[in-house]
């Protein structure tokens, strides 16, 4: 029996002194045969037979792939490395329906799992809803994880179908960078353009392009598609130096070792590592979690899921559940990061939070879980808005006060009345100061971005500039919708 009395230890980086780290349980240690345990005064070499009564020692990481001379998989290392700011990045796939976004997501998990960097998640498990399987399309944004050789990624697979653009907006709002998937045999299509527009408006600045299905076309077509995509990226304000990777996600899934198969997936990961910068996180403000989904955990309670926008959340923290006129008090009972229970989570992580005393039917997607007392509910805000021109996909007619449409922000959407502060009208292409009146009270912050959509088109994008007191009205529908 190995390490029979060693209950836990700390895994650290070697920096000339003992650093704080995370606890390893006995079960996580028992597979190690020969390694070095150190404390602040001495180091001891352990064999599988000795010693049996050590406690309070520290496991020291000597290199990125070895633990004291013992080869272990990188996924075992990743969860316990103690960098002050772990290299965690949120990315996702965007693009037209049926261009291979979900297939690429599955390929990323499979190829990285072969080196112990992740757990393979099949196409069927990503598109898990019955309607998704029946129609062969992604409807809800799905979240999975994997690691490259340098970073850990939380990946959102966004729906490409026009009918589910609301879910795409929700998924994109959680990204630090995006993978634009374009099928080589079709090139850029309507949702390719709309996804790029929405990604730009939401604040995604860095795009890596994956031209998929390259095994079905010749080199000349691939080059033409690359030129077309580069021009499109420039039109939407992205850099024309965005990395472009040619490949076939399906070939990679089948184990093909060619340049268009597995090698293209590694090229994509290398491009993500080098091109998408590490985001700046706010770890000091009170935590804020926009809720993307919720489910019931039998015997335990209600879990809310989302990407932590700011702050640090801990077990036991008092919290408020805000949104859609609801202000409910609760406590954080447990926190899970990709099905692993943790004591705390930091901004940028996709988490599930078990809440105390909250029923599932009390929660709507788009509500926010915040530290108790840190946010207010109101339905009235001042904002700065840019109204898109017809060429940008917006309106051709002017926008006047009492204009009522849907407002999208973070993971929610709600009917909103827009009134001009200076004057009564704004033309497409204008920047305007406006007052927003929401149908229900929500929790928004100064600087928070939002998008205004009319039917299937984005007509404006803006940011909150001032939080106002709640407006009172009897029937929002009494105002005429100006179209």
The per-residue pLDDT for range 8-42, each reduced to its tens digit, is 333 433 222 222 333 444 444 433 333 334 333 33
Active site residue 138: no
378-478 folds as Elongation Factor Tu (Ef-tu); domain 3 (2.40.30)
Q: Which two tokens stand for residue 333?
A: 């009972």
Pairing of strands 350-355, 142-147: unpaired
At the fourth CATH level, which superfamily is domain 88-275?
Answer: P-loop containing nucleotide triphosphate hydrolases (3.40.50.300)
Domains 288-371 and 378-478 share a fold: yes
Q: Exactly one of 60, 61, 88, 102 is catalytic; which is it?
A: 102
pLDDT at 249: 96
Q: Which of 449, 416, 420 is nearest to 434 (CA)?
A: 420
Q: Which two tokens stand for residue 407?
A: 């407002």
| 436 neighbors 418 (Cβ within 8 angstroms) | yes
Average of per-residue pLDDT across 369-373: 96
Active site residue 125: no
Paired with 210 in beta bridges are: 181, 245
pLDDT at 157: 80
* SS3 state at 148: coil
Residues 6 or more apart whose CB falls under 8 angstroms from that of 69 comprise: 34, 35, 36, 62
pLDDT at 361: 85
Q: Exactly one of 99, 101, 152, 213 is catalytic; which is it?
A: 101
Task: Give 130: exposed, middle or buried? Use CB within 10 Å, 0-12, 13-18, 19+.
Answer: exposed
Q: Exactly one of 7, 82, 98, 400 is catalytic; which is it?
A: 98
- Beta strand extents in 84-222 (DSSP E only): 88-94, 142-147, 152-157, 178-183, 207-212
Identify the weakest region by mean pLDDT among 38-42, 98-102, 310-314, 334-338: 38-42
The per-residue pLDDT for range 56-77, each reduced to its tens digit, is 333 433 223 333 333 333 333 3
- Render the burial of 29-40: b for 16+ CB within 10 Å, e for the rest: beebeebbbbee
Average pLDDT score over the chain: 78
How many Å apart are CA 246 and CA 8, to the nearest integer?
46
Active site residue 430: no
**pLDDT above 80 for 151:** yes
Pairing of strands 378-387, 431-442: antiparallel
Peptide bond into 172 cis (omega under 30): no
Identify the weakest region by mean pLDDT among 21-25, 337-341, 355-359, 420-424: 21-25
288-371 folds as Elongation Factor Tu (Ef-tu); domain 3 (2.40.30)
Q: Which two tokens stand for residue 391?
A: 């060429």
pLDDT at 47: 40
- Render the burial of 407-426: b for 16+ CB within 10 Å, e for the rest: bbbbbbbbebbbebeeeeeb
Pairing of strands 58-61, 8-13: parallel
This prediction's pTM? 0.65
Q: Exactly one of 22, 87, 119, 161 is catalytic; which is it?
A: 161
Identify the weakest region by mean pLDDT among 5-14, 200-209, 227-236, 354-363: 5-14
**pLDDT above 50 for 171:** no
The per-residue pLDDT for range 375-432, each reduced to its tens digit, is 999 999 999 999 989 888 889 999 999 999 999 988 898 999 999 998 889 999 999 9
| 118 neighbors 275 (Cβ within 8 angstroms) | no
**Higher per-residue confidence, 195 vs 16:** 195
Active site residue 96: no
The secondary structure of residue 95, as a DSSP letter, is -
DSSP character string of 22-76: EEEEHHHHTT--SEEEE-SS-EEEEBTTB-S---S-EEEE-SSSEETTEE--HHH
SS3 content of the chain, % helix, strand, coil (to 5): 20, 35, 45
Identify the weakest region by mean pLDDT among 92-96, 240-244, 317-321: 92-96
Q: What residue ranges do the domains of the chain occupy?
A: 8-78, 88-275, 288-371, 378-478
pLDDT at 170: 52
Q: How confident is the model at residue 143 (pLDDT cuts 50, 70, 90)?
A: confident
pLDDT at 474: 52
């Amino acid at each position: 029996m190995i390490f029979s009395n060693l209950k836990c230890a700390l895994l650290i980086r070697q920096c000339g002194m003992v650093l704080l780290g995370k606890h390893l349980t006995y079960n996580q240690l028992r597979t190690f045969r020969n390694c070095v345990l150190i404390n602040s005064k001495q180091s001891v070499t352990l064999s599988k037979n000795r010693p049996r009564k050590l406690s309070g020692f520290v496991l020291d990481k000597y290199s990125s792939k070895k633990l004291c001379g013992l080869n272990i998989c990188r996924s075992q290392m990743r969860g316990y490395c103690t960098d002050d700011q772990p290299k965690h990045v949120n990315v996702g796939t965007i693009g037209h329906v049926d261009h291979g976004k979900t297939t690429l997501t599955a390929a990323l998990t499979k190829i990285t799992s072969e080196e112990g960097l992740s757990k393979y998640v099949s196409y069927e498990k990503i598109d898990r809803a019955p309607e998704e399987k029946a129609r062969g399309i992604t409807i809800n944004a799905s979240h999975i994880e994997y690691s490259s050789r340098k970073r850990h990624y939380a990946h959102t697979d966004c729906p490409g179908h026009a009918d589910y653009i609301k879910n795409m907006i929700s998924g994109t709002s959680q990204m630090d960078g995006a993978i634009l998937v374009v099928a080589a045999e079709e090139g850029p299509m309507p949702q390719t353009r709309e996804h790029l527009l929405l990604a730009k408006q939401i604040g995604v600045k860095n795009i890596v392009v994956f031209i998929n299905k390259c095994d079905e076309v010749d080199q000349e077509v691939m080059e033409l598609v690359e030129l077309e995509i580069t021009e499109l990226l420039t039109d939407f304000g992205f850099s024309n130096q965005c990395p472009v990777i040619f490949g076939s996600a399906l070939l990679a899934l089948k184990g093909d070792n060619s340049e268009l198969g597995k090698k293209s997936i590694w090229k994509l990961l290398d491009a993500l590592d080098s091109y998408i910068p590490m985001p700046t996180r706010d770890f000091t403000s009170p935590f804020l979690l926009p809720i993307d989904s919720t489910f019931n955990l039998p015997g335990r309670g209600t879990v809310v899921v989302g990407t932590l926008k700011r702050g640090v959340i801990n077990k036991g923290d008092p919290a408020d559940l805000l949104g859609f006129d609801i202000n409910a008090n609760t406590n954080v009972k447990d926190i899970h990061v990709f099905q692993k229970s943790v004591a705390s989570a930091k901004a940028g992580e996709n988490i599930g939070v078990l809440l105390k005393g909250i029923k599932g039917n009390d929660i709507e997607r788009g509500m926010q879980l915040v530290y108790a007392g840190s946010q207010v509910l109101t339905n009235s805000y001042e904002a700065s808005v840019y109204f898109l021109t017809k060429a940008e996909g917006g309106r051709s007619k002017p926008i006047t006060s009492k204009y009522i449409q849907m407002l999208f922000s973070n993971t929610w959407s709600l009917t909103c009345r827009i009134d001009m502060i200076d004057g009564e009208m704004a033309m497409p292409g204008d920047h305007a100061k406006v007052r927003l009146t929401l149908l229900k009270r929500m929790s928004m912050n100064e600087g928070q971005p939002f998008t205004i959509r009319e039917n299937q088109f984005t007509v404006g994008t803006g940011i909150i500039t001032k939080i106002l007191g709640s407006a009172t009205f009897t029937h929002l529908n009494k105002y005429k919708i100006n179209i």
